[in-house]
Amino acid sequence: MELKPIFDIFIANSKAMHKDAVIVQKIEALLAKDYQQTPFHNLMMEEERTEANRALGGTCSDKALYFKTILANNGIRTQLHTAHIGGIASHRLLSLYLHGKRYFIDAGSGWPCIKLFPAFKSSSFTAFGIEFRAKLTQLDLIISIKISTAFNPFMIIPLAEQSQTAIEAAIANRFHPSNVYPFQYGFQLTFVKGHQFFFIKGDQLRIYEDGKPYQEQQLTPEHKQSIIAENFPSLLRYYTI
C-alpha cells in the first residue's frame, strides 16, 4: 500500500519532465526560426523602437523584447534578465521557469544561442561549428564559446532574481550619452541562413557551418549593402555607404 503514492509521484514527475521537454523543444524551434528571420544589427540605434518595428531586429534589448512577445503569443511567459558582457551589465536576455526549474533564453547576443541554457546545471551544445559551454557556479552561469582552438569568456548570467522595472528602465535609458552602449560604433550584422551563420563586424564577414572551418572575407560597403538587400531589404533605408 505504501508503494502506490511513491509510484504516483514518480508518474507525475515523469509527466512533468516530458511536458517540460516539449515546451523547451517548442521554444528552441521558435528561437531557430527567429535567428533566421530577425537579424542582430546596430542599424536602428537612433530609431525609436516600438512593438511595430521590433520585427526588423536590432541589438539585444530589441531582440529580447520581440522574442518575449513571440513566446507570449504562444502561451509561454518569460521575464527579462540582465547578463554581463565584458564586465558590464548590459546584455538583455529572457528567463523562464518550468516546474521550478529555470532556463535562460538568449535571442540577441549576436551569436547563435539556439539552445536554452539550464540555470540548474552545467551544459554545452554546438551550433554552426561554434561550441557553447555553460558552467554553473553558486552565484552565476558562466558562458564561454569556442570558435577555433580554445574556449573564451562570453558572458556571465547572475542567478539572482532581478527587478523587471529596473531592467525596463535601463532599456529605455540605454542610449543616454552617459552610457557606453555595446555595438554603438562600427557596423554589425549577424543572422542565420539555412545551415550557415553569418557574422559581420566592420568590414569583416565570417561564415560558420557545422563540420567546416569558418570562412572569412573582407567586405566593401557595396558588398554589405547587397547582403542587406538580399536578406533583409526592409533594413536598406537604415544603411548608408
The pLDDT, as a whole number, for residue 9 is: 43
Q: In this prediction, what percent of the chain has a pLDDT beyond 70?
A: 89
Tell me what the mean pLDDT of segment 171-177 comes to. 79
The pLDDT, as a whole number, for residue 181 is: 61
Q: In this prediction, what percent of the chain has a pLDDT beyond 90?
A: 77
The pLDDT, as a whole number, for residue 51 is: 84
DSSP string, the chain: -THHHHHHHHHHHHHHHHHHHHHHHHHHHHHHHHHHHS-EESTTTTSPP-TTTGGG-BSHHHHHHHHHHHHHHTT---EEEEEEETTEEEEEEEEEEETTEEEEE-S-SSS---S-EESSS-EEEEETTEEEEEEE-SSEEEEEEESSSSEEEEEEEE-S---HHHHHHHHHTTT-TTS--TT-SS-EEEEEETTEEEEEETTEEEEEETTEEEEEEE--HHHHHHHHHHH-GGGGGG---
CATH ID of 3-238, from 3.40.50.300, 3.40.50.11540, 3.30.2140.20, 1.20.1260.10: 3.30.2140.20
The pLDDT, as a whole number, for residue 49 is: 86
pLDDT at residue 182 greater than cutoff 90:
no
The pLDDT, as a whole number, for residue 184 is: 62
pLDDT tier, 159 (very low <50, low <70, confident <90, very high otherwise)? very high
**Mean pLDDT, rounded, of the chain:** 90
For residue range 62-105, what is the model confidence (pLDDT) as tens digits? 999 999 999 999 999 999 999 999 898 989 999 999 989 999 99
pLDDT at residue 1 greater than cutoff 50:
no
pLDDT at residue 149 greater than cutoff 80:
yes
Lowest mean pLDDT across 19-23, 173-177, 203-207, 225-229: 173-177
Lowest mean pLDDT across 41-45, 159-163, 197-201, 217-221: 41-45
